[in-house]
Structure 1
Amino acid sequence: MVMSQTVLPAGFPLLEELERRKQLQGFVDRSHSFSIRPIHLNETSPDTSSVPLTNKTEIHYLPLLNSTRYTTGRPYGWGSFMMTPSVGFQNYVSGGVEGGNKWFRFRFQPEVLLSENRSFNGFPDYFPSSVNQARFRYWNTGDFPELFADSWNITPWWGQSKIALGYGAFELGLGTENIWWGPGQWNALIFSNNAQGFPHVSFNTRKPAKTFLGNFEGQLIVGRLENSMRPATQHPSLNSSLGRGFTGDWRYLNAVNITFNPFFAKSLFVGINRSQQQYSSDMGNSFVDFLPVLEPFQKIVYGFERDEEGRDQQTSVFARFVSVPAKTELYVEYGRRDHALNWREFILNPEHARAYLLGFTKLVSLESSPFDLQIRAEMVHQQESVNRFVRYPGLGGNITWHTHWRARGFVQNGQPLGVGVGVGSNAQTVEIALVDGIQKRGILLERLENHQDFFYRAFGQDSRMRPWVDLSIGFIFANRWNERLVTNSKLQFISTNNYQWNQNQLSTVAEFSQADIKVNALFQIDFVYQINTKKNIIK
């Protein structure tokens, strides 16, 4: 049996990028923002919307995804569901079935991760106490362990599973699927597929809701987040003397996304995300305790005395512009993790506690070639602005994106829910590729500034010290071998400059010395196997 609707998990390798590219080419409904994911394919692609939903229940197999990654030397990589930033071998498998009718849908898509969790040379134990305290400032306000297990480990999970009741453009569901909010392609400021999905109840649109003002999409969720319960470093002495343990409590999450596509600018999508989390032991019993996203934004209205409630709040606004004639998209997302005193303070001081990302995609048709040239780029910036020098005592600043003194970071099982490049880190990514449908051959260039907020707090006033910066190049090859099998592979070489801030000595020259440069590699290959060829989404 062939069901009329297939849900593509958030950040699914190759296929999500393909749907996004189809929109630039005019093959996919332009009213879809790609700012709330997972994507309901029958609402974006004419190829899967020709069969109307009926009262008859239908079931079909979902594509089987197998992702294998091997990383040498030190951790690298983000945005791969349950996969962790670790050294050695990892293998992720996901698959299942989905079905339903006009009113009810279910998707059973569990996942399992096999990981080696090899130890590596992480943060050293010989820095002076001031440096160690600066580093643990960010570990103690978050949950970002160096190792996610002590040896080989198998982790099963419900994965991209969900059950939902639907009517028209709306649905109410319960699931553990990954959520992605905002227009980003490699990162998102609030939710992405960087961490394992979490249990949540969701009221959301499954297609744009059409009104006289334009199209609206949205999602309101409440969920449960867990900590990893892992120590921060691989040095027990540092962990015991400086580390802050977890209580074992879980965190209550409430978040909302609203996306608007105005009738007078059909190529423009604008939206807002807001999230609030706190440990369950800090919660009250009032209505707004369960829906805190309804609370005022301004602190002067919200109340300063409520800081003891331990709520961590983040807000981002975003925009995406799509030009089909130019085969181009431009997007931006700007967020704050500490709300302003009032609107005047926000206007005068917009850079406080902010993070942002910018990106674009451009397709160029090539004459006498079946391939198009695709250029994609994105930059994400989490490092605190220079505002920290005038707002806080001293020169160290406060904390950074995805961290919080009481709520211990916007994370699930030790991984950030949004930006995966590292705490207080900045990244710039450029990809140049030849594409033809799902086929792709390309090069990836990436620059990663690691833990910049820690660096400037610990070493910023020492002119002899240099930051830890990774420069990498990756080679991408994706191919459809037959109507069932697609592979997507990446071999990435990472030149690591001043790893862990030069463990052996201070740098005495303006540039990185050759001794401070190490090269590591990351290889990943994804196999997507289409079991149900009658419902082929890899064409």
Structure 2
Amino acid sequence: MDQVVTHLPSSRSGKIAQAIRYLILISLVVNVTQSFAQTIPVGSIGLEDYYRRAQLLGEVDPAVSFTIRPVSPTQSFGRKDIFYPDSLVQRRNFLGIEPMRINSSKIKTVILPFSFQAQTNTHHAYGWNDGAMIPAKGLQSVVSAGLYAEWGPISLQLRPELVNASNSEFETFDKDHYDIIFARYYDYYNRIDAPVRFGTKAFSKLYLGQSSLKVNYKGFSAGFSSENLWWGPGMRNALLMTNTAPGFNHLTINTDRPFKTAIGAFEGQLVAGRLDGSGFGVLEPEKDYIDGPLYFPKRDDWRLFSGMVLSWNPKWVPGLFVGLSRSKQMYSDDITGAGDYFPFFSTVKKADADAGLEKKDIRSSLFLRWVWPEEQAEIYGEFGRDNVVRSARQAALQPDRGRAYVVGVRKIVNLSGGRGHKLMVHIEATQLQQTQVDDVLGAKSWYVNSYVRHGYTN
């Protein structure tokens, strides 16, 4: 989901920021050597890719799809130390302090590793798969630390994230364009909450980050979470859920390891949560065109988001995973019944002249991942549609309208020399661009919507 942020009150933010500093200090002096069922945050490239490569090499459970993340290596693979999975990697304990574990007969607690990420954009705002970071020029950073605790079936993962960005000024859309160019520009930005710049000052924001409170039982979990989610087999992109934005507060019911049955293994997740707008406008909301304003302020209302994803590994085809995902969002004032809280209770209407009056913004996708450990390779793909289902005739004449896809292939190549060196070859392609002339001229995009004018953003 795209990037959107809101500010915390300064007094509350200051107290929480002080608390996170203490967590960071503890994490800096503690070397974690034992883990329980905590998850690897989405975007932990080295760790996530390590376990996925290990599956290609036949070293971990082949029934794990990696299409529903975050994953818990302890639950999925039986790893006791998820942050040091390779026994050949030397541990670092610079201060010589023993690992901290607070274990009693009822409560087990470990300190999570400290994380620091930084990036700088020298010319203009840009960001992609960077979690809580905002698209901004200049230097910005995200720091995170926390703890994980288990008490019987109850687990608590507290891992807040603190973002600081210089958010420097940069040259934006040329103000000397013809009015018709501005009109097309606002055709897009009136239907999505994607600020060019997040305010005019330095930006600071504290998130709950990769935190959760769940009840766990026999491979299933239910509770509250603010973690980033990733749905789909893609490594660099996915259609419905990625970490291009911060995680959002949501209720979740999910599997934390493959649920094995007589017809194969299943993984799934069902979520419902609240999305808020950014609070930032576009470039020049006062600009007019043909005696009317170009910018229309978005509705002052939060959005209900619900979504589901399901993956199936048929027992007859080892290494094959097929699945589907679906999302729905709507303004809270438009909620009319309990069915609005579940994505699978909504029908998607055929496209017609009144399609803009549809009060729900719906997307769905089908995906596939096929792993061949003997070849140390995998192929994967995801195909999605936004909002409308057309007749068979329309689908045959315009199969690419309102669609998006991700396809990829990965192959581990053994290098000569006998030292166990390997090379990963990876290609991934993503297509979101509209291909129909009227869609392009109408400034349509896969993530905009004419009624839910915040678009598919968080």
2:260 to 195, 205, 210: 210
1:41 to 73, 82, 86: 73
1:122 to 172, 177, 188: 172
Distance 1:182 1:106 in 2: 26
Per the alignment, residue 350 of structure 1 pairs with 399
Per the alignment, residue 108 of structure 2 pairs with 58
- Alpha-carbon offset, residue 116 of structure 1: 0.7
What are the superposed Cα offsets for residues 198-243 of structure 1, whole Å, 9 maximum, x if unpaired? 110001111111111111111111110111121222x464499422
Q: What amino acid maps onto 1:91 in structure 2?
A: S
Are 1:251 and 2:296 an aligned pair? no
Per the alignment, residue 273 of structure 1 pairs with 325
1:95 is paired with a residue of what secondary structure? strand
Distance 2:69 2:285 in 1: 40
Q: RMSD of aligned C-alpha atoms?
A: 2.5
Distance 1:5 1:141 in 2: 40
- Alpha-carbon offset, residue 73 of structure 1: 0.8
Select between 324-333 and 243-252 the one with higher mean Cα deviation. 243-252
Distance 1:195 1:273 in 2: 19
1:314 to 332, 349, 363: 363
Distance 2:226 2:207 in 1: 9
1:68 is paired with a residue of what secondary structure? strand
Are 1:396 and 2:441 an aligned pair? yes
- Alpha-carbon offset, residue 361 of structure 1: 1.5
Are 1:327 and 2:379 an aligned pair? no
What are the superposed Cα offsets for residues 457-479 of structure 1, whole Å, 9 maximum, x if unpaired? xxxxxxxxxxxxxxxxxxxxxxx
Q: Is the 8 A contact 2:326 2:343 kept in 1?
A: no
What are the within-5 Å matches in structure 2 for residues 68-467 of structure 1?
A: 68-233=118-283, 235=284, 237-238=286-287, 241-284=293-336, 286-297=337-348, 299=350, 308-342=357-391, 345-346=394-395, 349-368=398-417, 369-386=419-436, 388-389=437-438, 396-397=441-442, 399-413=444-458
What percentage of residue pairs aligned between the two structures are identical? 31
2:223 is paired with a residue of what secondary structure? strand
What are the superposed Cα offsets for residues 349-371 of structure 1, whole Å, 9 maximum, x if unpaired? 43121111111221111122453
Distance 1:152 1:211 in 2: 53
CA spacing shift, 1:321–1:367, aligned 2, 3 Å = same
- Alpha-carbon offset, residue 299 of structure 1: 3.5
CA spacing shift, 1:380–1:72, aligned 2, 3 Å = same
Per the alignment, residue 43 of structure 2 pairs with 11
State the number of aligned residues. Answer: 402
Distance 1:304 1:256 in 2: 29
- Alpha-carbon offset, residue 187 of structure 1: 1.3
Distance 2:285 2:274 in 1: 29
- Alpha-carbon offset, residue 402 of structure 1: 0.9
CA spacing shift, 1:384–1:378, aligned 2, 3 Å = same
Select between 265-274 and 400-409 the one with higher mean Cα deviation. 400-409
CA spacing shift, 1:12–1:410, aligned 2, 3 Å = farther
- Alpha-carbon offset, residue 49 of structure 1: 8.4
Of Structure 1 and Structure 2, the greater strand share is in 1
Distance 1:342 1:104 in 2: 48
Distance 2:113 2:409 in 1: 29
Distance 1:63 1:330 in 2: 33
Distance 2:303 2:442 in 1: 26
2:45 is paired with a residue of what secondary structure? coil
Q: Is the 8 A contact 2:127 2:244 kept in 1?
A: no
- Alpha-carbon offset, residue 297 of structure 1: 4.1
Distance 2:415 2:106 in 1: 46
- Alpha-carbon offset, residue 409 of structure 1: 4.1
Q: Which runs of 5+ in 1 are unaligned?
A: 414-539
2:441 is paired with a residue of what secondary structure? coil
Q: Is the 8 A contact 1:228 1:412 kept in 2?
A: no
CA spacing shift, 1:292–1:230, aligned 2, 3 Å = same
Select between 101-110 and 159-168 the one with higher mean Cα deviation. 101-110
Distance 1:109 1:345 in 2: 48
TM score, norm. by length of structure 2: 0.82
TM score, norm. by length of structure 1: 0.70
1:186 is paired with a residue of what secondary structure? coil
1:47 is paired with a residue of what secondary structure? coil
Distance 1:41 1:352 in 2: 39
- Alpha-carbon offset, residue 94 of structure 1: 1.2
